[in-house]
Amino acid sequence: MDRLDFRLLAGEMDPDSFASLASRAEKVRDDLIEGRCAGSDYLGWIRLPRTARADLDAIRECAERLRGEVEDLVVVGIGGSYLGSRALLEAFAEPGRRGGMRIGNGPEIHFAGEHLGGARLAGLLRRLEDRRFAVNVISKSGTTLEPSVAFRLLRGELVARFGAEADRLIVATTDPERGALRGMAEDRGWTSFAIPPDVGGRFSVLSPVGLLPLAVAGLDVGALLEGAGKELERFLSKDSPEENPAMNYAMHRQHFYGKDLAVEVLSTFEPELFLLGDWWAQLFGESEGKEGKGIFPAAARFTTDLHSLGQYLQDGRRQLFETFLRVDQAADALVVPESDDEGDGLGELAGRQIHQLNRAAEEGTIRAHSGSGMPVMAITIPEITPEALGGLVGFFEGACAISALMMGLNPFDQPGVEAYKREMKRLLEVR
C-alpha cells in the first residue's frame, strides 16, 4: 500500500442512498473546484502543497539558523496556529527534558499561548531559565488574548536576558500586510513569514504556520507537502466517489448524520497519532458546528480510553458512529520479555512483539463495537512518515470541506468563536 485507504467496516448503506449522496457530493466538489461554494475566498488550502514551496527555502534557512543558535523554540499560538504542528510533531518526537518535544538532537519545542493558565506559563518560564531560546509567535491579527499574553511574557524574558539581540530570536508568522503583529515585526526587524490571506487557521498547517516549527524540529517538510499534494490531487480528481476516499468518507458521515447519529468518535491505537485527534476535532468542529447543525467530533485514545469511555462506546446510547485511524506497518520490534516469575499471567505472550498485542486489541475492539450495532469506518495509512501524515492532512481537509458543504454550511468561517471573546471583554472591561 502506498497511500491512504478508506473502508466502511460496519454500517450498511443501500445503493439508492449511496447514489443520492454521491450526486450531492459531486455537486459540492464541483462547486468547490470552480470557486462557487460558500466561503470561496478561503480556498487557498487546496493549493498550499504547491504554493507553500515558494517559502521553503526561506523556511529552511530560518530553521537551520535557529537550530544552530538555540536550545529551545517556543511556538506561541492558539487553535489552528498550533494544533496541526503540535500533532505532527508528536508523531515523530520524543519527550524533551524540559517538558517539550524534540526530534533527535534538534531544539526542544514548547507550545504556549493556547490557554490562560498562569501556573503553567510560570512553569514554562522556569524551564527556560539558563536556556537560549527563540519564539515563533503565530497570529493573523496579533491581538488574540491568549497568545498575546504569552508572547508579552516571553518577549519580556528575551529582552531581559539578551537585550537588543532578542529581536533576532523572534520570528513572527502573521498577516502579510496588516495587523498589530505585522506592524511590530516590521518596526523591530523580526524575521517574518506570511499566513496566506485565503487560508483559514484550521486549514493552515501546510503553510508557514506549521512548516516553520516543524522544520526547526527537524521534520522533512518537503515530504509532508508531497504527501498532502498527492492526496489533495486525488480528492480533486473526477474519480467517482467510490474511488475517492475523502468524498467517500464525507458521504458516509452525512449518511450517519441523516440517521440522527450526531457524534463521531475518531479512535486510534497509535500513541504517535493521539494529538492528531485534537487537530481533527478542531477542523471538523469549527467547520460544521453552525446554524444548529453539525456532527460533534470526539477523539478517543486506545487502549487507554477503553478502560473509561470504552464502556459507553460498547453499551451506551446509540447516538454516535466511530472512525478508526489505523497504521498498516508498525515501526517497533519491542517484545514482551521472558521471565522466571510468571505470576503476571504473561507467560504465553513472552516473545511476542508489543505491536502484535496492540493490533489484537485494535481488531478485537473493532469487532466488539461493530458487533454492538455501532457504525464503524476505518482510515488506514501505510506507515507513520512525513509523506503519509501529509496525505492524511490533505484527506481530512478535503473531506471536511465536502461534508460541511453537504450540510449547506460555510466550512471556512467560525462566527461562534467570537461569542466568548465578547463576553470576556465585558467582564474585563476592555474594548
In three-state form (DSSP H/G/I as H, E/B as E, the rest C), the secondary structure along the chain is CCCCEEEEEECCCCHHHHHHHHHHHHHHHHHHHCCCCCCHHHCHHHHHHHHHHHHHHHHHHHHHHHHHHCCEEEEECCHHHCHHHHHHHHCCCEECCCCCEECCCCCEEEEECCCCCHHHHHHHHHHCCCCCEEEEEECCCCCCHHHHHHHHHHHHHHHHHHHHHHHHHEEEEECCCCCHHHHHHHHHCCEEEECCCCCCHHHCCCCHHHHHHHHHHCCCHHHHHHHHHHHHHHHHCCCCHHHCHHHHHHHHHHHHHCCCCCEEEEEECCHHHCCHHHHHHHHHHHHHCCCCCCCEEEEEECCHHHHCHHHHHHHCCCCEEEEEEEECCCCCCCECCCCCCCCCCCHHHCCCEHHHHHHHHHHHHHHHHHHCCCCEEEEEECCCCHHHHHHHHHHHHHHHHHHHHHCCCCCCCCCCHHHHHHHHHHHHCCC
Mean per-residue pLDDT of the chain:
93
Residue 421 a catalytic site member:
yes
Looking at residue 373, its pLDDT comes to 93
In a domain, 257, yes or no: yes
- Please name the amino acid found at residue 273: L
Give residue-wise pLDDT tens across range 188-197: 999 999 999 9
Catalytic residue among 238, 307, 348, 418: 307
Look at residue 174 and tell me whether its pLDDT is greater than 50: yes
Rounded distance, CA 301 to CA 275, Å?
9
Q: What is the CATH classification number for the domain harbouring 363?
A: 3.40.50.10490
List the one residue out of 139, 149, 143 whose CA is nearest residue 194. 139
List the one residue out of 154, 155, 171, 144 whose CA is nearest residue 80. 144
Give residue-wise pLDDT tens across range 56-100: 999 999 999 999 999 999 999 999 999 999 999 999 999 888 899
Look at residue 427 and tell me whether its pLDDT is greater than 90: no
pTM summary value: 0.95
First to last CA, the chain: 55
Query: Are the C-beta atoms of residues 173 and 192 closer than 8 Å to each other?
Result: yes
Looking at residue 426, its pLDDT comes to 85
Report the pLDDT averaged over residues 237-256: 91
In a domain, 412, yes or no: no
In a shared domain, residues 182 and 255: no
Residue 159: other Cβ atoms inside 10 A: 15
Report the pLDDT averaged over residues 134-162: 95
Residue 286 a catalytic site member:
yes
What grid cell was written down for 375? 457504525
In a shared domain, residues 163 and 268: no
Query: Are the C-beta atoms of residues 254 and 241 closer than 8 Å to each other?
Result: no
The radius of gyration of the chain's CA atoms, rounded to the nearest angstrom, is 22
Catalytic residue among 115, 293, 421, 425: 421
Between helix 221-236 and helix 386-406 the angle, nearest 10°, is: 40
Pairing of strands 108-112, 296-301: unpaired
List the one residue out of 274, 298, 302 whose CA is nearest residue 361. 302
Look at residue 431 and tell me whether its pLDDT is greater than 60: yes
Q: Is 336 or 33 the better-scoring residue by pLDDT? A: 33
Domain hosting 26: range is 5-36+224-406
pLDDT band at 416 (very low <50, low <70, confident <90, very high): confident
Structural domain ending residue among the three candidates 219, 235, 267: 219
Looking at residue 110, its pLDDT comes to 97
In a domain, 424, yes or no: no
Report the pLDDT averaged over residues 145-154: 95
In a shared domain, residues 288 and 270: yes
In a domain, 255, yes or no: yes
In a domain, 116, yes or no: yes
Report the pLDDT averaged over residues 313-317: 96
Query: Are the C-beta atoms of residues 77 and 142 closer than 8 Å to each other?
Result: no
In a domain, 103, yes or no: yes
In a shared domain, residues 135 and 258: no
In a shared domain, residues 116 and 197: yes
Looking at residue 417, its pLDDT comes to 79
Pairing of strands 320-327, 296-301: unpaired
Structural domain ending residue among the three candidates 192, 219, 246: 219
Give residue-wise pLDDT tens across range 257-268: 999 999 999 999
Report the pLDDT averaged over residues 208-229: 97
Domain count, the chain: 2
In a shared domain, residues 289 and 176: no
Q: Is 422 or 147 the better-scoring residue by pLDDT? A: 147
Look at residue 295 and tell me whether its pLDDT is greater than 70: yes
Give residue-wise pLDDT tens across range 90-118: 999 998 888 999 999 999 999 999 999 99
Report the pLDDT averaged over residues 409-417: 90
Pairing of strands 101-102, 72-76: unpaired
In a shared domain, residues 214 and 231: no
In a domain, 262, yes or no: yes
In a shared domain, residues 398 and 294: yes
In a shared domain, residues 231 and 207: no
In a shared domain, residues 302 and 389: yes
In a shared domain, residues 257 and 381: yes
In a shared domain, residues 341 and 306: yes
Query: Are the C-beta atoms of residues 190 and 172 closer than 8 Å to each other?
Result: yes
Look at residue 1 and tell me whether its pLDDT is greater than 70: no
pLDDT band at 143 (very low <50, low <70, confident <90, very high): confident
In a domain, 411, yes or no: no
Q: Which residue has the cell 534538534?
A: 106
Report the pLDDT averaged over residues 37-55: 96
pLDDT band at 2 (very low <50, low <70, confident <90, very high): low
Catalytic residue among 286, 288, 322, 397: 286
Give the lowest-confidence range in 93-97, 311-315, 376-380.
93-97
